[in-house]
């Protein structure tokens, strides 16, 4: 289907996830946007104006378009499984946003549907695509620093106070930080720890009755082989851990410390759930407050998901937005990484390697199902006060 090395992409859902991937789609010549679908008329009109390509009202009509090679499923979390199933039924490859799905049964159905149809399934973007994380894994695989023994990951953001639709504040509908943010952090930790999580012990916090879902968690993960990881996240909009990253934000952009509290201030302008949802819609693609990405969209540095330290037998490795710090037995060094020429270029690298070149996907359905299993174990452990053993774990395979 794909000609030369160009993948023709149809986008299912023109919301926040799409706007974050749009600079990548615009800047990487290996992909081309050829169609979209969205229930919001203003988003469809904007897409047709920007790209001169059709925008449909349903995923079914998008997937029926013969110009589409691959469907980027960026619809709300609770629709991922169904929409990947539709793409597979039409013989389209699928890249689905994180989280893969809300249950392990849904994840398995997605894997089975794409395998039966003979099409590829890739899950992402997640921050385990980030070059500093992947290069850290390469350092581990080199054997120069010995085995991984301990991983420390933390992130403090304003996630819970960004404008939300009502269901984004309901855990069972995919809301809260476990489904949306732990997916990133657990994926990173699993990649660095080897993938095979054997045990999860966790606590979660839901401390604002106006935002009645998990806004924070701390989890201790035990890996096959004896390594362990602590993963902590807070989305309550107080401390910003990008302070520890030199005020480089998650997307690799420079941040101004004077902007502290901006999310809460913006949210205070919405007097009801309907007004909050409208505020989110206004900032999305096609909305009245939407700002198109500048071109060329070259970030200050690589994307990241907060401070991260990997403790190995012979060194501690600390990936940051512009490189990797190595703290060895008798010396300290820094391995610089130049800014990416295209943001999230790593995602397109994997799409091309998998769909065009036929190589196994690193972020396959099986890999993402294992991450989902750990995230669900975080919720279960916090509810039950017990250690959980997540199912469907798969190991990291060096490229």
Q: What domains sit in the chain, N to C, each tagged with a CATH number?
A: 7-127+344-372 (3.40.50.720), 130-293+299-342 (3.30.360.10)
What does the CA dihedral 110, 131, 241, 246 come to, rounded to 10 degrees? -160
pLDDT band per the 50, 70, 90 thresholds, residue 81? very high
For residue 2, the model assigns a pLDDT of: 41
Report whether pLDDT(348) > 90. yes
pLDDT averaged over the chain? Answer: 95
Q: What is the pLDDT of residue 297?
A: 56
pLDDT (mean) for 358-375: 97
The predicted model gives 196-215 an average pLDDT of 97
The pLDDT score that the predictor gives to residue 292 is: 86
Q: What is the dihedral of CA 93, 98, 99, 104, to 10 degrees?
A: 30
At residue 12 the predicted structure's pLDDT band, cuts being 50, 70 and 90, is very high
Query: Rounded to an integer, what distance in angstroms lies between the CA atom of residue 123 and that of residue 120?
Result: 10
How far apart (Å, rounded) are the C-alpha atoms in residues 121 and 78? Answer: 17
Residue 291 is predicted with a pLDDT of: 87
Residue from 247, 296, 263, 303 nearest 124 by CA: 303
pLDDT in tens, 133-156: 999 999 999 999 999 999 999 999
pLDDT, position 3: 43
Nearest-angstrom CA–CA distance, 288 and 274: 16
Query: Looking at residue 399, what is its pLDDT?
Result: 58
Nearest 10 degrees: Cα torsion 155, 397, 373, 59: 90
Query: Which pLDDT score, from 0 to 100, does residue 1 have?
Result: 43
Given a cut of 90, is residue 316 above it in pLDDT?
A: yes
Per the DSSP assignment, residues forming a β-bridge with 56 are: 37
Contact criterion met (CB below 8 Å) for 36 and 11 = yes
**pLDDT 10s digits, 239-248:** 999 999 999 9
pTM, 2 dp:
0.96
pLDDT score recorded for residue 298: 62
- Predicted confidence at residue 267, as pLDDT, reads 95
Tokens read off for 281: 């819609």
Pairing between β-strand 197-205 and β-strand 216-223 as defined by DSSP bridges: antiparallel
Radius of gyration, alpha carbons of the chain: 20
pLDDT per position as a tens digit, 36-80: 999 999 999 999 999 999 999 999 999 999 999 999 999 999 999
């Amino acid at each position: 289907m794909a000609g030369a090395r160009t993948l023709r992409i149809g986008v299912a859902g023109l919301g926040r996830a799409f706007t974050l991937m749009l600079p990548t789609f615009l800047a990487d010549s290996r992909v081309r946007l050829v169609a979209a679908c969205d229930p919001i008329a203003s988003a469809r009109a904007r897409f047709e104006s920007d790209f001169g390509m059709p925008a449909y009202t349903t995923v079914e009509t998008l997937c029926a378009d013969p110009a589409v090679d691959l469907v980027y499923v960026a619809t709300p979390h609770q629709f991922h499984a169904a929409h990947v199933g539709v793409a597979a039924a039409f013989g389209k490859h699928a890249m689905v946003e994180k989280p893969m799905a809300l249950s392990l049964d849904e994840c398995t159905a997605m894997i089975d549907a794409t395998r039966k149809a003979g099409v590829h399934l890739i899950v992402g973007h997640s921050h385990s695509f980030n070059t500093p994380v992947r290069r850290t894994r390469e350092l581990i695989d080199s054997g120069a620093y010995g085995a991984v023994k301990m991983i420390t990951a933390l992130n403090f953001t304003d996630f819970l106070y960004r404008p939300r639709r009502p269901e984004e504040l309901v855990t069972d509908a995919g809301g809260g930080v476990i489904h949306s943010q732990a997916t990133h952090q657990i994926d990173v930790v699993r990649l660095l720890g080897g993938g095979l999580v054997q045990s999860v012990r966790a606590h979660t916090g839901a401390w604002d009755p106006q935002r009645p879902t998990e806004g924070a968690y701390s989890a201790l993960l035990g890996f096959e082989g004896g390594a362990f990881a602590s993963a902590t996240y807070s989305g309550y909009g107080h401390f910003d851990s990008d302070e520890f990253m030199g005020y480089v934000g998650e997307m690799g952009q420079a941040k101004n410390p004077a902007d502290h509290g901006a999310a809460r201030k913006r949210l205070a302008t919405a007097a009801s759930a309907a007004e909050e949802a409208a505020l989110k819609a206004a900032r999305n693609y096609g909305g009245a407050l939407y700002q198109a990405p500048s071109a060329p969209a070259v970030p200050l540095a690589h994307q990241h998901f907060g401070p991260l330290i990997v403790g190995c037998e012979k060194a501690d490795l600390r990936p940051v937005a512009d490189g990797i710090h190595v703290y060895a037995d008798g010396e300290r060094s820094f391995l610089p990484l130049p800014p990416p020429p295209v943001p999230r270029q790593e995602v397109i690298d994997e799409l091309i390697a998998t769909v065009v070149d036929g190589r196994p996907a690193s972020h396959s359905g099986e890999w993402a199902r294992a991450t989902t299993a750990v995230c669900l174990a975080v919720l279960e452990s916090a509810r039950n006060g017990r250690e959980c053993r997540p199912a469907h774990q798969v190991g990291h395979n060096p490229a």
